[in-house]
Amino acid sequence: MFVKEVMVQNQVGLHARPATFFIQKANEFKSSIWIEKEERRVNAKSLLGVLSLGIVGGTTIKVMADGGDEETAVDSLVKLIQSGFSE
């Protein structure tokens, strides 16, 4: 399992549009991917799961993956979060 912590950069956090971009990116990988916020872990490929965390700007989350492409998956998703979803 590969894990990285990242702070959500964009002000509104992972609301519907950024969450959709995030999930689309997560679905490009074969690995199982999760997001964890304050001990609550959800499937990063599930819109309802991601939105249920209520992630706002400035929140630090963990992105974790398990599988053959886990490092690439986590690195790509962390990069997307750090970009602020181009907002």
As a whole number of angstroms, the distance between CA 56 and CA 46 comes to: 18
CATH number attached to the domain at 2-86? 3.30.1340.10
Q: What is the pLDDT of residues 37-49, one digit of tens each?
A: 999 999 999 999 9
b (16+ CB within 10 A) / e for 39-73: eeebebbeeebbbebebeeeeebebbbeeeebeeb
Q: Which residues pair with 43 in a beta bridge?
A: 34
Catalytic residues: 15
| Predicted model pTM | 0.94
Mean pLDDT of the chain: 95
pLDDT at 86 over 80: no
